[in-house]
């Protein structure tokens, strides 16, 4: 297994603000299932940040679910859906303040805030997977993702800390609701 430091180095090559979607989809690092099951650490959180940015980019490229993705992107969606589906029942997040970029002083740290990139990735992949062979697996996947939202938390407030994530998740969840998921 790759060391956390090596994984961080590989993931640092991605600029999440300006991802080349085609190039990123073909990167083997994002296809490595073992990275998704790392204990909660900076490398895993960086991985989810990259995956979330990529899925949000694909979501925008699909005109928010209105246009089918190219075949390579659709195959990637199916692959990542499978990885996230396998990861979801086992994943846990702690309350540590340290991320790949250092300490986040302005953001309250708790398991919900620390899991938002992963939850966002789950909701975007579910919306993107509606046009795929795994569409029958989406509803149980969404229900399982709800287990990461503590009953005492305020999900909307946590999402509002990141405008683009909030809006994109809202549109993805509305798209899923329209599909009766």
| The pLDDT value given to residue 62 | 96
| The pLDDT value given to residue 74 | 95
Look at residue 166 and tell me whether its pLDDT is greater than 80: yes
Residue 92 φ then ψ, to 5°: -140, 150
| pLDDT tier for residue 107 given thresholds of 50, 70 and 90 | low
Name the DSSP class of 136: G
| The pLDDT value given to residue 125 | 98
| The pLDDT value given to residue 110 | 59
| Structural contact between residues 171 and 122, judged by C-beta atoms closer than 8 angstroms | no
pLDDT by residue (tens digit) across 43-79? 888 899 999 999 999 999 999 999 999 999 999 999 9
Residues 6+ apart with CB under 8 A from 166: 159, 160
Q: Where are the domains of the chain?
A: 19-178
Residue 165 C-beta-side C-alpha neighbours within 13 Å: 25
| The pLDDT value given to residue 114 | 74
Please tell me the distance from the alpha carbon of residue 45 to that of residue 27, in angstroms, as a whole number: 18
pTM of the model: 0.88
Look at residue 40 and tell me whether its pLDDT is greater than 70: yes
The percentage of residues in the chain with a pLDDT greater than 70, rounded to a whole number, is 89
Please tell me the distance from the alpha carbon of residue 96 to that of residue 105, in angstroms, as a whole number: 11
| Structural contact between residues 114 and 93, judged by C-beta atoms closer than 8 angstroms | yes
């Amino acid at each position: 297994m790759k060391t956390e430091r090596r994984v961080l180095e590989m993931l640092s090559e991605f600029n999440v603000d300006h991802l080349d979607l085609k190039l990123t989809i073909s990167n083997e690092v994002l296809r490595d299932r073992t990275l998704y099951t790392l204990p909660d650490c900076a490398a895993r959180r960086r991985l989810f940040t990259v995956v979330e940015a990529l899925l949000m980019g694909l979501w925008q490229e699909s005109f928010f679910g209105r246009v089918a993705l190219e075949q390579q992107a659709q195959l990637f969606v199916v692959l990542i859906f499978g990885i996230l589906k396998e990861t979801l029942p086992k994943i846990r997040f702690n309350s540590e303040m340290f991320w790949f970029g250092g300490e986040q002083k302005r953001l309250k740290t708790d398991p919900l805030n620390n899991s938002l990139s992963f939850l966002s990735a789950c909701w975007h992949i579910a919306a993107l997977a509606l046009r795929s062979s795994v569409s029958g697996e989406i509803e149980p996947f969404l229900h399982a993702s709800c287990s990461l939202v503590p009953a005492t938390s305020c999900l909307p407030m946590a999402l509002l800390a990141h405008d683009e994530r909030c809006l994109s998740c809202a549109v993805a969840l509305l798209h899923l609701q329209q599909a009766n998921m």
